[in-house]
Structure 1
Amino acid sequence: MKESFLSPSMFPEAFRDVDHLEDFMSTPTRELAEDMASLDGDIMILGVAGKMGITLARVIKRAAPHKRVIGVSRFSEPGSEEHLQQWGVETIRCDLLDRAAVNALPKIPNVIYMAGLKFDYKGREDFLWAMNTVAPAIVAEAFAGSRIVAFSTIHVYPWSNPLQGGVTEACPPLARPGEYANSVVGRERTFQYYSRLHQTPGRLVRFVYAIDMRYGVFQEIASWVLQEKEIPLETGTVNVMWQGDAINHFARLLCHCDTPSTPINIGGPEAVSVRKIATMFGESFGIAPKFVGEEKDCLYVNCDRAADLLGNPMVPVNTMVKWVAEWVKAGKPVHGKPSKFEVRSGIF
């Protein structure tokens, strides 16, 4: 059956269940299919078993059914490997800190690097740094002849006033409170060093807050409103992006790599108000939100460069709010893995 491309006419009123959500979220855009057709070679995703990697692998396979799509991970979570295989994605078990195992991976010309550590690293800070700097060095050497699109974070940026339009890629990454952000600066610089050394084309994806029914900023705010918990406002403005739009953009960056590797902000174009979103959920639930604190400077980034290159996301904020409100109110499954967007200490 011929694959249909994502369009607003396909938007559901709500999602019946997880299978319906994942099927819709992994629908490719026409632009992704066109880019994958023009891209030389197959695709490997390192660190594929995370919240976004599985749908990323699936959307690429749907956009490019004749390409090999290989997902690499330790696959510590039961069922994730089988999930990928049923969609035609090949899987390889590998510890990215094992240099011999990484060197033994097939040398696929297109690599998306999603591995890393952010949460719950207290007491194992050495592992945090190893995953965020040593593993990238091992991969960058092993795949010196490939294109590498590597995930980064907005936590390499300073606080800014969202009224000033958001931080752009011209702002150099900096040390912020907490070892996580510092280690990701190390990740970026490691990939850039090897990109320059070996002339490896690449991109560093400074991504902000995917929206999925099961996790993310909107799911958290909706749950706080429904449970009548206080909603912190200090980080009162956020960038958000529907996960389906995000993974389409991530894959398309393989066609837009630079040598040496350069950063790009990927996220929605709007400055989204936490207070406004909570109020919208409150109206849907018939509950007055409870707020604490006042808005301050925040990690708000400017995504104009990505919009010029890849276009704006297809799913708008109001639609995401409607979908999340129904999902949360119905008590459908969630991951239980908060984004901690409101945390300002740098320790997640």
Structure 2
Amino acid sequence: MIPDSHRSFDSVRDEDHLDSLLSEPTPGVVEAMGRLEGDLVVLGVSGKMGPTLAWMARRASELAGVDRTVYGVARFSDPSREGWLRDRGIEPIRCDLLDPDQIDRLPDAPNVVHMPAFKFGASGDQATAWAVNCFLPGLVCRKYRRSRIVAFSTGNVYPLVPVSGGGSVETDPLRPVGDYGMSCVGRERIMEHFSRTLGIPIAVIRLNYAVEMRYGVLIDIGRKVLAGEPIDVSMGHLNAIWQADANAITLHAFDHASSPPFALNVTGPEVLRVRDVAERFGELLGRPPSITGTEAPDALLSDASLAGRLMGPPRIDADHLIALVADWLRRGGTLLDKPTRFEVRDGQF
């Protein structure tokens, strides 16, 4: 039986409860994992999304009755991540993914999730950003030329667009702002090259702001409200999606991997006004927000209508997510202290 704890909950008790929710598969993910043949490798598993995505793949495979090894590959600078994965039936593998020899020694698998990325600090270390975001995807495509790949990208491949337009769609030109966005277009182009020349089925996930209780754009805004810090609304609008839904859409995207690659915007359906979000947090936290700046007429926004048509709406909408975040902050829940810097308008991260 597929879990249904997403149907009704108004509070996240603790980190164990949170991780369980973030890894809970949808029926569509269970069906998708049932259709896949063979093992699954998650590259860059130790980031913010990787652990619960890998666990969701494991849980969905078990529910589908598929005997599959899920490998989690990373450097594991935090060794506790290895134990966390192993306790949940995922096989961790240490690997420096910029070392071609180490990549060649990774287990072969017909299904790959590519998650490595370099964003924060990219404006000060452009060479590493381009190596991680462009050189590494080429190594991965050569290693896994006989596999199906779902690769993370970002909404930063798009330019700032008028708020009134509802956001960029997958067929829009890629005209990023800043080195990070340009290197992410490079990642997509490298993968497209290998997809076309080697026939690799690939799905590209252009993600805009996955949110859970410990980090994300809503946590950034809610923390400032709680602390009485000013909130700059120059980047006045944004998209966000519950991380469990982003995980589910990513795994479901194996159904749509193709050559040339299939691109998919992954975010919530709402265009959120930062001022409105701050005011809602103010009501929930009992602290009126301090607003500075004036909303620009454009913002970094993506239209996720295609994902909604293919995979259904997110399980949690923005209003519910804001309430959950406010409750977590009010109770002093654990935070990762990793700001998203969503307010950046020049692409310099």
TM-score (norm 1): 0.96
Runs of 5+ unmatched residues, structure 1: none
CA contact (8 A) 1:43 1:108 kept: yes
**How far apart are residue 5 of structure 1 and its match?**
2.5
Q: 1:280 is matched with which residue? A: 280
Q: In structure 2, how many angstroms separate the alpha carbons of the residues matched to 1:94 and 1:190?
A: 22
Q: Which runs of structure 2 are paired with 1:178-327 in the superposition (5 Å)? A: 179-296=179-296, 297-327=298-328
Question: Contact conserved, 1:192 with 1:262, CA < 8 A, in 2?
Answer: no
Q: Write the deviation string for residues 211-257 of structure 1: whole angstroms up to 9, x where unpaired.
A: 11000011111101011111111111111100011101101111111
Does residue 23 (structure 1) correspond to residue 20 (structure 2)? The answer is: yes
Q: Which one is further off, 267-276 or 52-61?
A: 267-276
The residue aligned with 1:139 is 140
- Look up the SS of the partner of 1:152 in the other structure: strand
Q: Name the count of aligned residue pairs.
A: 344
Q: What is the RMSD computed on CA atoms of the aligned residues?
A: 1.3
Query: Within 1, Cα distance between the matches of 2:122 and 2:161?
Result: 27
1:43 pairs with one of 40, 43, 46: 40
Residue 7 of structure 1 and its aligned partner are, at CA, apart by 5.4
Deviations 1:140-160 (A, max 9, x none): 111111111111111111111
Give the partner amino acid of 1:151.
F
In structure 2, the residue corresponding to 1:88 is in which secondary structure? coil
Residue 131 of structure 1 deviates from its aligned partner by 0.7
Shift of 1:122: 5.0
Deviates more, 1:82-91 or 1:29-38: 29-38
- Give the Å deviation of 1:336: 0.5
Q: After the TM superposition, which of the residue ranges 121-130 and 198-207 deviates more from structure 2?
A: 121-130
CA contact (8 A) 2:123 2:180 kept: no
**Secondary structure of residue in 2 paired with 1:64:** helix
| 1:81 and 2:87 matched | no
- Deviation, structure 1 residue 175: 4.2
Aligned letter for 1:327? W
Residue identity matched to 2:195: S
Q: In structure 2, how many angstroms separate the alpha carbons of the residues matched to 1:174 and 1:13?
A: 40
Identity %: 39
> Secondary structure in 1 aligned to 2:235?
coil
- Alignment-mate amino acid for residue 39 of structure 1: L
In the other structure, the counterpart of 2:57 is 60
2:2 aligns with 4
1:333 paired with 2:334, answer yes
Contact 2:177 2:346 in 1 (8 A): no
Residues 172 and 262 (structure 1), Cα distance of their counterparts in 2 relative to 1, 3 Å cut: farther
Give the distance between the partners of 1:142 and 1:104, measured in 2 at CA. Answer: 9
Q: Which residue of 2 aligns with 1:163?
A: 164
Partner of 1:130: 131
The 3 A distance-change label for structure 1 pair 265 and 122 is closer
Deviation at 1:124, TM superposition (A): 2.9
Residue by residue over 1:75-129, the C-alpha shift from the partner in whole angstroms, topping out at 9 and shown as x without a partner, is 1123011110100001111111111111121110010100011012454321111
In the superposition, the TM-score normalised over structure 2's length comes to 0.96
Q: Retained in 2: the 8 A contact 1:5–1:30?
A: no
Matches of 2:251 and 2:44 in 1, distance apart?
15
- Separation in 2, partners of 1:88, 1:206: 28
